[in-house]
Structure 1
Amino acid sequence: MPCSKQSQAKLHPQGPQRLQLQISHKEKVQKSNMASVSVPPAEILLSKRVQEMVLTGEEPLGPYLCRDEDEGINEGEKDDHPIPTVDIGCFEPGKWSTEESRRELEKLKSALSTWGCFQAIGHGIPSPFLKKLRRVGREFFQQPMDEKNKYAKTVTEFQGYGADPVPEQGQSLDWSDRIFIDLVPEDQRNYKFWPQNPASFKKTLEEYAEEMKRVTYTISKSMARSLNLDESCFLTQFGDRAQYQARFNYYSPCTRPDHVLGLKAHADGSGYTVIVQDEPGLQILSDGKWCTVPQNTNNALIVLMGDQMEIMSNGVFKSPVHRVVSDSEKDRMSVAVFYTPEVGREIGPEEGLVSEEGRRVFGRVRDYADVHWGYYQKGMRALHTVSL
């Protein structure tokens, strides 16, 4: 979702489509009545953290309520088709020729060409370390506001503690707080945004950055192999100075989970995104239905394709629309790492896929994440800007 430095399944790159959903007449009346209440504009609301609003007993009003064209949040959910699981441990050097590896490679291609995501197991990151990562994130968000605000960002910045910059008029705000940090390249780190408390935050995040470089190296090569391409082709497109950006997300309990989203529907503008979560809440749009990613019980990483992988794969891999629902009782914490091509690098469909399929679905583009962000602020997708 970040720039560089949706919703029915009918969304496609042929036009600047809004992430529109249908809403019941009853809900429209309810929202119309609420609209008559005087509420602060988004700029004022963003000056207060969601956690702060919850502590003072404030109700989510105005910009936090989903737009009129959005559907009843709980409508259309399904859980009968679990998110595919792939054992990426089978893709380690020396294992490519095994039957198990070939089977997992087929599962990977199927998952990314249908769902656009998968749950990665066998990644080699110890379960205690992932628990520690989630713990230091929670410990940061549990600190007093004065401590957290030492790392606050302004409404125009990406790095730091707070919320996304103010969206365009008419777009709903997310019921969540977050801290956004540039990880890689290391010389681009701005440590003034790295919390000093808890004391283990910095070291834990630095270690996780190294793990992410290793995991994305394996995933990128595996995706290429699944398409019968040179295994380094996607790594080459990402470049030697590919970006890794971390976002710790804290979703407070919400008194209006039927009208307020923790994170509004969207597709990522990254190459792909790797997520660690504790409680359920993340939902993927598949076949017009919202599918909940289950609670993490097997140490899995959730891997979501971004628009740039859809472009590089010439449309074979899909960038899924996803969102996070709110909960009236439970809070939730997740850590997302966005893996994005280096700044200024031009990407495009792999030529081997263009010749195989007989047509080029997308053109070439530079700094697509910046293009994506402009459309995201409007509640729209940006793939049409590079569609041929």
Structure 2
Amino acid sequence: MDELMSASKEFFRQPLQMKREFSNLNDGEQFRAEGYGNDKVRSKDQILDWSDWIYLKVEPEDERNLALWPKHPSSFRDALHEFVVRCRRVKRDVLRAMARIAGLDDDDQHFVDQLGGRATVHARFNYYPPCPRPDLVMGIKPHSDGTVITVLLVARGADGLQVLRYGVWYSVPSSSTHALLINVGESTEVMSNGMFRSPVHRVVNSAEKERISLAMRSG
């Protein structure tokens, strides 16, 4: 986690021209999901999130578009690959525990099996630079994940993540070390008939501090 967060910071702190080598715009115009950039602009009146991101398909491994994987820093690709491999075990263990909580003791692979043998996993690195007027923008607008499960890697001391519960926004406490947070996705909420709820969440900005996170979305 240390190596991956360090490599992420180094990537986002590069000059814009270097980051655009991995742009999510084909020929500077046509938007695609993968690559470096930010929101797709659909209207001149659209309010954009105050963040940059790089979005990569990481599984299945044979479907990776390595042309969009940053080459600098040199540690980025290996660190991401290692993290993806280790996340497989984290997701499996969490989903098996959820199945047991749901009373599926004879089939604790139930939610794991829903991912299938070639589950699609995307990695989204989010960079939130300091904002001079954080009261006017959102790092990421309120949303819930339309996945089975999301493993969120948050850099140490990174404030800003908030979760909506009964109409009130609660701040998720930051950690003095890197932290893994688990988000249940909408697909799991449906499969569990609402036993596990997919939380609505957002990120608010800071006027002084940058924030980096990595969301590994499965399913």
- TM (norm. structure 2) is 0.92
**CA deviation map 1:1-37 (0-9, x unaligned):** xxxxxxxxxxxxxxxxxxxxxxxxxxxxxxxxxxxxx
Instruction: Tell me how large the CA RMSD over aligned residues is.
Output: 1.4
Distance 1:193 1:285 in 2: 34
Stretches of structure 1 that go unaligned for 5 or more consecutive residues are: 1-129, 341-388
SS at 1:285's partner residue?
strand
Cα gap change, 1:304/1:158 in structure 2, threshold over 3 Å: closer, same or farther?
Answer: same
Matches within 5 A, 1:224-303: 224-229=99-104, 230-278=107-155, 279-297=158-176, 299-303=178-182
**Residue identity in the other structure for 2:170:** C
Judge conservation of contact 2:38–2:53 (CA < 8 Å) in 1: yes
**CA deviation map 1:112-152 (0-9, x unaligned):** xxxxxxxxxxxxxxxxxx12111100000011111111000
Distance 1:141 1:172 in 2: 22
SS at 1:210's partner residue?
helix
Matches within 5 A, 1:131-280: 131-154=2-25, 156-167=31-42, 171-229=46-104, 230-278=107-155, 279-280=158-159
Stretches of structure 2 that go unaligned for 5 or more consecutive residues are: none
What count of residue pairs does the alignment treat as equivalent? 211
Judge conservation of contact 1:247–1:335 (CA < 8 Å) in 2: yes
Cα gap change, 1:298/1:136 in structure 2, threshold over 3 Å: closer, same or farther?
Answer: closer
SS at 2:135's partner residue?
coil
Judge conservation of contact 1:282–1:325 (CA < 8 Å) in 2: yes
Judge conservation of contact 2:152–2:215 (CA < 8 Å) in 1: yes
Quick one: percent identity of the two aligned structures?
43
Which contiguous aligned blocks of 4+ residues in structure 1 show a shift greater than 3 angstroms? 167-171
Judge conservation of contact 2:123–2:216 (CA < 8 Å) in 1: yes
Q: Please state how far the C-alpha of 1:164 moved relative to its aligned partner.
A: 2.8
> Which has the larger strand fraction?
2
Matched, 1:325 2:211: no
Q: Please state how far the C-alpha of 1:171 moved relative to its aligned partner.
A: 4.7
Judge conservation of contact 2:154–2:178 (CA < 8 Å) in 1: no
